[in-house]
Structure 1
């Protein structure tokens, strides 16, 4: 999936988080914590740890 499309999905699923992809390809995530990640996998790892319902929210969105 294209990273920009995934960015739109993540913003919709987690509206309380600020999720940005900068020009250098670095992901910036801020909410309960502030994190930078070099890949979408890093962003998803962070959300899975700090948002106990993250997996369920993603599943419900894509049903």
Structure 2
């Protein structure tokens, strides 16, 4: 797929995210939230393994 078209498609599919490409062609996605719960939900969806590690550290004392 043409990467310019892919960028437009991904931006359309995820309108709540700021998705761009930098000058080197790297893909970037940024997000924000009105509250901590929303931020944690997005972080968990973006990196489930890191979320599981965080839960483990917080519940087991790491």
TM-score (norm 2): 0.49
Higher strand share goes to which structure? Answer: 1
Which structure carries more relative contact order (alpha carbon 8 Å, separation 6+)?
A: 1
TM-score (norm 1): 0.48
Higher helix share goes to which structure? Answer: 2
